[in-house]
Amino acid sequence: MKQMLFGAAQWLQRRAENVAVALLSVMFATFIIQIFARYVLNKPIGWSEEVIITTWLWTVLWGAAFILRESDEIRFDIVYSQVSERTRRIFTVLSGVALVALYSVSLPAAYSYVSFMKVEHSAYLRVPINWLYCVFIIFSVACICRYCWLVYRAALGGKSPETDPANLVD
């Protein structure tokens, strides 16, 4: 059962990476179209900026929610690396609980704001703004789940994330 769950998680991870690749591809293609239209045809297009900004926002938040590994996260490893494994687990629990609390407290307001923005549309594409920014809600929920899992693992004595780049293995 554990092997099957691990396989499913890896499959989902690869699909999340595929989404990020698609977003970056759309952003790059739109950027090339924008350059061509502006400098070759001398007819700048406004919609390209909306597409580029939106795909960049989605790529960053999607990647942070579903692709980044815990070892990729930024830490104050000057302190973190010098303390015992038990203390690192305590740091993980404390920071995880704090982040879950902050994301959880902000989630209703963020959801309310994103839902409210359905009345607004983007300037060129006329897409409802709530569709463009709903990725923040996805990001928040994914972060809550991720940090709940990290707190659970750390509380049960699981190994803390590695901070020494020489010891990281892909």
Q: What is the pLDDT of residue 55?
A: 96
Cα–Cα distance for residue pair 112/94, rounded to 1 Å: 28
Q: Do residues 45 and 33 touch, judged by C-beta distance below 8 A? A: yes
Q: What is the pLDDT of residue 163?
A: 64
* End position of a domain, from candidates 68, 98, 118: 68
Q: Does residue 51 form part of some domain?
A: yes
Range of the domain at 22: 1-68
Q: What is the mean pLDDT of residues 104-132?
A: 92
Angle, helices 47-66 vs 135-155, to 10°: value is 10
Percent of the chain with pLDDT over 70: 92
Considering the entire predicted model, what is its pTM?
A: 0.83
Residues 104 and 133 in one domain: yes
| Count of helix runs (H) and strand runs (E) in the chain | 6, 0
Number of independent structural domains in the chain: 2
Nearest residue to 73 (alpha-carbon basis) of 55, 91, 54, 86 = 91
The string of pLDDT tens digits covering residues 21-74 is 999 999 999 999 999 999 999 998 989 999 999 999 999 999 999 998 877 777
Q: What is the pLDDT of residue 146?
A: 92
Cα–Cα distance for residue pair 29/33, rounded to 1 Å: 6
What does the block give as tokens for 108? 């209703």
Above 80 in pLDDT, residue 93? yes
Spell out a b/e string for 115-147, using b for 16 or more CB atoms within 10 Å of the CB, else e. Answer: eebeeeebeeeeeebbebbbbbbebbebbbebb
Residues 84 and 119 in one domain: yes
Of the listed ranges 32-41, 47-56, 142-151, 152-161, the least confidently predicted one is 152-161
